[in-house]
Structure 1
């Protein structure tokens, strides 16, 4: 089974992006194993901390390195991606010569109640992820305007059109991993 490191850019307890990641996980069941990186305790990037590396940093790097691919699910804050994702990117590219991101197939998505569904943040993040050496899935892009009525109590998608659409995206992600994975 393909192992996917999942980074959710919202730390909020009732995050719609965490719920969205869970819905994608349900659609990928049987083909992909989602392993969620814990970002809540990740400190801001600080070169001085390499002298006594925080456990959250070593756990993040290990999660990314053990995965076949990475899925980043983000909200949009002020037309860009959240700082916790920037910190995760910076920690995982270091120390020099030990870039945990190198060559990893990556897909980026996100959701918000707004109609553009994190499009600008995803664009910024794609640019960054190419710079750190990942193989970013370019198409299809997935900008989802979150509608709580499309999800059941268990997080499964209840709206058939939404389910079909998102299944197509998950299938494309699986194909991307097979094409670009190591």
Structure 2
């Protein structure tokens, strides 16, 4: 974690594989920051949801429109003078760069988790389109943020309140 160079930004993207807690952490951070929360899963086109629900992983091409929809939401909130927290897997560096094309000042919060815990969490969810069978494909696609990216890496198995407190503390210390 490069915490000494992370500065508060108008946009924070909580990222990681399915089951890492993006939505729960993102909602809690947005509430603490008084920010708009963008749930990336809700912006998937119906055909992407159907593919994933049937156990088919998305390709880079299928993710493009979805990433653009999230990027537009982030840019719209920032353009309106509002802070924004988005939940988006942002698994590859190219996906994060695509999001930065809409808003340069994004901090990524990578919630790191092991495959077994992610599969267990996804398998116990009810009412979500993502099956546990796709967790392995998410890990296969994952490119953890590099040292030159504006990103924090935190342990996703810790309590949500602790993760939120860590992020807020880092922002406060570096503002």
TM-score (norm 1): 0.44
| Structure ranking higher on relative contact order (CA contacts 8 Å, 6+ apart) | 2
Higher helix content, 1 or 2 = 2
TM-score (norm 2): 0.45
